[in-house]
Amino acid sequence: MGRGKIEIKRIENANNRVVTFSKRRNGLLKKAKEITVLCDAKVALVIFASNGKMTDYCCPSMDLGAMLDQYQKLSGKKLWDAKHENLSNEIDRIKKENDSLQLELRHLKGEDIQSLNLKNLMAVENAVEHGLDKVREHQMEVLMTKRRNGKMLEEEHRQLNFQLQQQEMAIASNARGIMMRDHDGQFGYRVQPIQPNLQEKIMSLVID
């Protein structure tokens, strides 16, 4: 007996619906790949499941963006509004600018210069020399800054040593004063200040 004809309508059972989707999705992907290889056709396929999960396929000879652009041109249907077109053009411009900068960087590194003419080679040479001058200038600035910092550290170290010596001398002087007072107190010595009248007598004797 042959397989009975299946009525095309929404499958109510959730499990059966998921199984059927998986089988038919895989079948579509297989057919899309086969027609791409067998017929040299450009095929793009995008499938969204009911849960929002996406499955896509695009032939190796053309990316999906180029295929959508071709579809838009041939069908006359506008897929992108002006805002998206401007954004796309800006992205293309940035990509071209980036490619140009990458090429210029390779030239400055001495790579891919075989195709350059004499004028371009001279421009690369000037750019390299200018960059080298800038590097040397910055190198000198770094060295001078390092030397200044070294001198400042030396001066700070000298001042700290001087302050340390002053503190050590003050501590030693205080220690000697304390030892002398202790010594005088131990042997009963006491230095009496000179009375004013006695000082006048001594001065008169010296004058005479």
The residue assigned the tokens 């001087």 is 162
Check whether 163 has a pLDDT greater than 80: yes
Helix H or strand E encompassing 43: none
Check whether 199 has a pLDDT greater than 60: no
Which amino acid is it at 50?
S
- Among 76-85, 96-105, 117-126, where is mean pLDDT lowest? 76-85
**DSSP conformational letter for 58:** E
Q: Please tell me the distance from the alpha carbon of residue 110 to that of residue 125, in angstroms, as a whole number.
A: 10
Neighbours of 107 (CB within 10 A): 19
| H-state helical runs in 111-208 | 118-187, 196-207
The residue assigned the tokens 């619906």 is 17
Residue count of the chain = 208
Please, is 45 exposed, middle or buried when counting C-beta atoms within 10 Å of its C-beta (0-12, 13-18, 19+)?
middle
3-state secondary structure labels for all residues of 99-138:
HHHHHHHHHHCCCCCCCCCHHHHHHHHHHHHHHHHHHHHH
Give the mean pLDDT of the chain: 81
Q: Please tell me the distance from the alpha carbon of residue 135 to that of residue 132, in angstroms, as a whole number.
A: 5
Check whether 32 has a pLDDT greater than 60: yes
Check whether 116 has a pLDDT greater than 60: yes
Quick one: pLDDT at residue 40? 92
The domain ranges of the chain are 9-79, 132-178
The span from the first CA to the last CA of the chain, in angstroms, equals 160
Please, is 75 exposed, middle or buried when counting C-beta atoms within 10 Å of its C-beta (0-12, 13-18, 19+)?
exposed
Quick one: pLDDT at residue 204? 54
Quick one: pLDDT at residue 200? 56
Check whether 190 has a pLDDT greater than 90: no
Quick one: pLDDT at residue 202? 47
When pLDDT is cut at 50, 70 and 90, the band that residue 47 belongs to is very high
Most confident of 36-40, 106-110, 186-190: 36-40
The CATH superfamily holding the domain 9-79 is Transcription factor, MADS-box (3.40.1810.10)
Angle separating helix axes 118-187 and 82-108, nearest 10 degrees: 80
Neighbours of 117 (CB within 10 A): 8
Quick one: pLDDT at residue 194? 46
